[in-house]
Structure 1
Amino acid sequence: MEISGVVLGAPDARSLAAFYERLLDWHRDQDEPDWVKLVPPGGGTGLSFQTETGYVPPVWPHAPGDQQMMVHLDIRVDDQATASAHAAASGAKLADFQPQDDVRVHLDPAGHPFCLWTEPAL
């Protein structure tokens, strides 16, 4: 078995895919009204988006009774400040709650949290 992709639900698959195209500089491999798949330039596991009727965005951090996140993306970056500025320019929102100094949690336009992190210095 091999995981071939990760799928994020959204109120509009194409809109969320456009955000991740800007953020990651990946290209569309599949593009349908309610389904879009992005793939990295060098190949590898893709990232897909599907339109979900009645989509409810997750709450970060969640509290009892809140919509919980089902998945989040960890994105390794070389420079956290530059990557965070790029994420904001692409349409992400910096999360109010930041649990770690070496990670920056952002929310994509559909509310999914994603983390920008750097390798620890040796």
Structure 2
Amino acid sequence: MSVVAASVRRMIPLVGVVLDAPDPQKLARFYCELLGWELDADEETWATALSPDGGTKLSFQLEPNYRTPTWPSETEKPQMQLHLDFRVDDLEAAHQHATSLGARLQDFQPQPDVRVYADPVGHIFCFFV
């Protein structure tokens, strides 16, 4: 690897992920409640959930034609492009919290120490210990 490539790689941190949503403000509020994060940007077409340590953001942009992905994937249906992983200390407590906010536990669970959920619009996220 060249010195320039190595130096550029160190200078480009990932600070956030952007998800499409039919209602960005509503989905940002869901993740703020789920994660204990703060609402940052709060506009009709763009909203952001900000980690309390300020290091990571989840942003949500308006996509009026958003279609819920399938999990696991199915031919001819929208496929998940990515999913979010969150480490938790207590899987059962995190499960109760997530479902009380509207997350849906998915039927397919690939590992015993991981729980796969869909958020209110169908983005997949996982809790693991």
Range class of TM-score, shorter chain? over 0.9
Give 1:37 deviation, angstroms.
1.0
- Structure 2 residue runs of 5 or longer lacking an equivalent are 1-11
- Quick check: which has more Rg, 1 or 2? 2
Q: What is the RMSD computed on CA atoms of the aligned residues?
A: 0.8
- 1:98 alignment counterpart: 109
* Correspondence 1:23 to 2:34: yes
Secondary structure of the corresponding residue to residue 40 of structure 2 = strand
* Correspondence 1:39 to 2:50: yes
> Residues of 2 paired with 1:116 and 1:3: CA distance?
21
- Structure 1 residue runs of 5 or longer lacking an equivalent are none
Between the aligned residues of both structures, percent identity stands at 52
Give 1:50 deviation, angstroms.
0.8
Give 1:16 deviation, angstroms.
0.7
Q: TM-score, normalised by structure 1?
A: 0.93
Secondary structure of the corresponding residue to residue 49 of structure 1 = strand
* Correspondence 1:59 to 2:70: yes
> What is the aligned residue count?
118
Q: TM-score, normalised by structure 2?
A: 0.88
Residue by residue, what CA displacement relative to the aligned partner does 1:62-104 show, whole Å, maximum 9, x if unpaired?
Answer: 1111111111000000000000110001110100111111100
